[in-house]
Structure 1
Amino acid sequence: MKRLLFLLGLLLVVSPPVWCQDEGEGIPNPDDDDEVQYNTTYAEDQTKLQMAIFRNYNRNNRPVVKDDDSTEVELHLHVTHVSFNQREQTMTVHGHMYMTWLDETLFWDPKDYGGVTTTNVKKWQIWMPELRVTNSVNGIYSMHEISRNAHITVQTLTTDGKTYTKSRVETYPTFSMKVGCLMDFSDYPYDVHYCGVRLYTPKKINQVKLRVYKGMAPTMFLSWSNESQKLTSGDFTINRASNNISWYRYGVTDDLEPLTGKDGAKTWSIYNMYIFYARHSASYFVTIALPLFSATVISIMSFLIKELQFATIINGTTFILHILFIGEFMKICPVSVFDVPRALLFHGYSMGLTMFAFAFHAFLCIACGSRSIQNYMIDGYSKAWSVIPFNPFPGFMDGFVKGLGDIRGRGWHRNMFIWRVETFFILSVLYLILFTRAFLI
């Protein structure tokens, strides 16, 4: 008990009474400007600012003081994903669009609003350019390509360092645009393409004019992982992207900007972004071209095989393989609206050569049992050489034809071997030309 009383007494001595503590200064006088500035929050400044600048603002009017002045809207596209549809011949592009312009009717003095120079506003509060995609597969009146939910930043500006007369408006909406392309697959699998996204505003350039933001080319970043250099999408590798502004008037698109106000009243500006891409077919040669080439070489080499029956079986087998190869090729080869792809022609030529080799050896097998067929072939072969037009070596050809008649008595197999060797060299040269034409030129 004594210890408890001792502790209570010590506590009273050490701790001063509540009534002995100093009172606070209380709430400052509201009439004091410095104190009001000190206690006003940033959110209150923003609310006060937006109520003031939008009190007499009309978002339906262009943000210019003089109606004769044109509003220049600068654009920059940042691409995050690209996909191609070869069957539909379309390209789908996803990314972000940066837009900026000057608003001459929306500005304020930062000193009146706690030093605030930038404010964020909603899209429905401020004038914005209406952009449409001219080559959209959904039509030019589609409203879904460009997001309508992007926030807008407004920054008040001064021209002389003292007086604020305009503001810089910036917005960064997302977009997802699907456009039509014209793809030429004549050089498949080495085809190279480009496809453009074209944006325009319904206002003529005497009212709204599109520009490339600081002359910058479109940027691309197709992966958020360590693959920052990923530039492959599906079957294609993206080489580069570029942009420019073209001018549409009197039904014609031109690269020269109109200089007179009369032409400006009849001209629209178009922002063009072009993506250049080439086919990425690393496995084509190994999986399609090399087996096809090997099968055709085997067919040609069959002319050097002594047994006709064995050569015929080889050519029949390779002909079936060609049918399978061309079937697989048609699954991956896109439909071309221009010329037939050279690779497809090469497949057709190879199949034709194999079919000829099969028919040639099959006929020789049949002819081996018929003397009349043998004599007919020798006579026809001699006559074909004798009627060659523009023969540069008539003496040589006459001697060759005479010698061909002399070998009639040497036996059928001797003549047949000569024909097969000659056909082998002819087909080899022809196939080499076709292969070079399809893959090397």
Structure 2
Amino acid sequence: MRILYVFGFVVLWQNQFVSRLLAAFTFAKNSDMDLVKRGCKHTENTIQHLKTCLFRNYDNTIHPNYLKGVTNVTLKLMPKVMEFEDTILSLHSWILLTWKDPHLTWTSRNYDGITFIHVKSWEIWMPDVSVSNSGDMSGDQFQLPQMDCLLFNEGSISCVPAAKFMSKCNTDFTYWPYDKHHCRVTLSSWSYKGEEVDLHIDGEGINMGGFWKNTVWNFKFISSAKQIYFDECCPNATYPKINYNFLLTRYYDKQHIAFSIPIIVLILITLTVFVLDVKSVERLTLASVNLICHLLCMFYLHWQLPYNGTNTPNIMLFYQESLALAIFAVILTTLLRKLENMSTEMPNWISSSITLVLNNKAGRFLVLKDEDSKITDEDTATEENSDVAKSQVKMKRLSWKYFAVIIDWLSFFSVVLIYIIILLILVPAT
């Protein structure tokens, strides 16, 4: 009996030991189920242990849903600084990228409740978002810089790289310095088609709250939209692109003072030339100075205007037309001075024209206002000297003088009309 009792106790003890051993093995199996699947062992550092398990068999060169579906990438721009030179827009911006990677998930309760970790961008698969209408074909435009990303336990990844996006704008300097330019930044995947990696806009796709205002340009966001493009090489593939449209308006206060005021001054000088007496030295001197000022302004403007290779800026066209009028003023002054000294026989059509003008009150006001006393003096001198030939010469010269004055006034009104037409055509409406 004692032997049976001892034998039964031993059997019972063995059964309890086996049960405890099985329970311990079951607990260890359940708690380390993820580790068994990943083939890694537990360490004292939970985060290190988690990252070791996550990236043990991970390949960062394959997009997360390879052969299973599309990887949806959502993006948002956060511009900080912009630069614009000639036709190139350089936008320094943060860009928020979010997507899900089903290979990088874990159960938080198995890892001390950890719900997210920091990972390096080179450790995980990253969407190759780049500018497709880039103004810089260097390698920096086709890859995002290395950064820290947040990886959440459900596989969601958020990265905020700082990038410099350079795009070529459709510029038009016609109304410089009052010019406006529409610029577009087009973001797309460089190596994946839409069936592999699809791009989406987060809300409006942009946050301008942290933008630092530019001192030269007013940078305004217009709209953002997603477009699907097709390529002839791959008719069954789609290529999604995100378009960001911006409006650049120049702050023209400085240029307005530097270039608009000289325009007004040159117009007034040119008109003043036609008002002065033809024989005066001041008129010829002012006409010459006016011509030189036009040339200096055009030379200076040549170095200030941007080179866009399309339309010539209207301000340069104005200086060109005004220069032509300044040259005309110099040539006309020289010819009229010569015309007033002529004593040859005047054609009948010229005499008839002078008579027609003098019979009009306005014509007499413009032509004879300085000649009434001269005519009286000449008549008196003729009576005293009784020199008929000399009197006839003076009358001929006086007739040519009237004709020169009439031409001068007609030129003045013509130049005024030309300036009005030029300003109406070249000055922007807004």
- TM-score range with shorter-chain normalisation? 0.7 to 0.9
Distance 2:156 2:260 in 1: 58
**Per-residue CA distance 1:327-348 (angstroms, 9 max, x = gap):** 1111111123222211111111
**Per-residue CA distance 1:234-262 (angstroms, 9 max, x = gap):** x422133532222220359xxxxxxxxx9
Please point out which of 295, 298, 303 is paired with 1:331. Answer: 303
Which secondary structure does the structure 1 equivalent of 2:59 belong to? coil
Q: Work out whether 1:416 is the aligned partner of 2:404.
A: yes
Match of 2:10 in 1: none
Distance 1:440 1:194 in 2: 17
Contact 2:218 2:251 (C-alpha < 8 Å) held by counterparts: yes
Q: Work out whether 1:313 is the aligned partner of 2:285.
A: yes
Following superposition, the deviation at residue 319 of structure 1 comes to 0.8
Which secondary structure does the structure 2 equivalent of 1:417 belong to? helix
Match of 2:323 in 1: 351
Q: Work out whether 1:432 is the aligned partner of 2:404.
A: no
**Per-residue CA distance 1:5-59 (angstroms, 9 max, x = gap):** xxxxxxxxxxxxxxxxxxxxxxxxxx9x9xxx9xxxx982212222222233332
AA at the equivalent of 2:53: A
Match of 2:264 in 1: 293
Q: Work out whether 1:107 is the aligned partner of 2:142.
A: no
Q: Percent identity?
A: 20
AA at the equivalent of 1:151: D
Match of 1:219 in 2: 208
Which secondary structure does the structure 2 equivalent of 1:352 belong to? helix
**Per-residue CA distance 1:362-390 (angstroms, 9 max, x = gap):** 11112222334x837x85x68xxxxxxxx
Following superposition, the deviation at residue 145 of structure 1 comes to 5.8
Match of 2:238 in 1: 267
Contact 2:131 2:141 (C-alpha < 8 Å) held by counterparts: no
Which secondary structure does the structure 2 equivalent of 1:411 belong to? helix
Distance 1:296 1:137 in 2: 41
Contact 1:152 1:171 (C-alpha < 8 Å) held by counterparts: yes
TM-score of the two chains, using structure 2 as the length reference? 0.74
Contact 1:184 1:337 (C-alpha < 8 Å) held by counterparts: no
Distance 1:251 1:43 in 2: 56
Match of 2:37 in 1: none
Match of 1:150 in 2: 147
Contact 1:186 1:340 (C-alpha < 8 Å) held by counterparts: yes
Q: Work out whether 1:55 is the aligned partner of 2:36.
A: no
AA at the equivalent of 1:215: E
Match of 1:388 in 2: none
Please point out which of 177, 180, 186 is paired with 2:174. Answer: 186
AA at the equivalent of 2:177: P
**Per-residue CA distance 1:375-416 (angstroms, 9 max, x = gap):** 37x85x68xxxxxxxxxxxxxxxx868736999966222222
Contact 2:284 2:333 (C-alpha < 8 Å) held by counterparts: yes
Contact 1:146 1:175 (C-alpha < 8 Å) held by counterparts: no
Distance 2:238 2:164 in 1: 27
Distance 1:190 1:367 in 2: 45
Q: What are the residue-to-residue correspondences of 1:194-205 with 2, within 5 Å? A: 194-201=182-189, 202-205=191-194
Contact 1:217 1:242 (C-alpha < 8 Å) held by counterparts: no
Contact 1:146 1:176 (C-alpha < 8 Å) held by counterparts: no
> Structure 2: where are the runs of 5+ without partners?
1-23, 32-42, 360-366, 368-394
Match of 2:248 in 1: 277
Q: Work out whether 1:170 is the aligned partner of 2:162.
A: no
**Per-residue CA distance 1:284-324 (angstroms, 9 max, x = gap):** 23222212221222221222223533222211111111111
TM-score of the two chains, using structure 1 as the length reference? 0.72
Aligned CA distance change for structure 1 residues 304 and 43 (closer, same or farther; 3 Å): farther
Distance 2:318 2:140 in 1: 46
Following superposition, the deviation at residue 101 of structure 1 comes to 0.4
Aligned CA distance change for structure 1 residues 106 and 336 (closer, same or farther; 3 Å): closer
Which secondary structure does the structure 2 equivalent of 1:433 belong to? helix
Which secondary structure does the structure 2 equivalent of 1:278 belong to? strand
Which secondary structure does the structure 2 equivalent of 1:326 belong to? helix
Q: Work out whether 1:248 is the aligned partner of 2:229.
A: yes
Q: Which has the higher helix share?
A: 2
Match of 2:83 in 1: 83
Contact 1:68 1:206 (C-alpha < 8 Å) held by counterparts: no
Contact 1:319 1:354 (C-alpha < 8 Å) held by counterparts: yes
Distance 1:149 1:318 in 2: 61
Distance 1:97 1:206 in 2: 23
Distance 1:131 1:356 in 2: 60
Q: Work out whether 1:303 is the aligned partner of 2:274.
A: yes
Contact 1:81 1:222 (C-alpha < 8 Å) held by counterparts: yes
Which secondary structure does the structure 2 equivalent of 1:94 belong to? strand
Which secondary structure does the structure 2 equivalent of 1:403 belong to? helix
Determine which structure has more spread, i.e. the larger CA radius of gyration.
2
Which secondary structure does the structure 1 equivalent of 2:153 belong to? strand
AA at the equivalent of 1:239: K
Aligned CA distance change for structure 1 residues 91 and 336 (closer, same or farther; 3 Å): same
Aligned CA distance change for structure 1 residues 292 and 308 (closer, same or farther; 3 Å): farther
Contact 1:75 1:99 (C-alpha < 8 Å) held by counterparts: yes
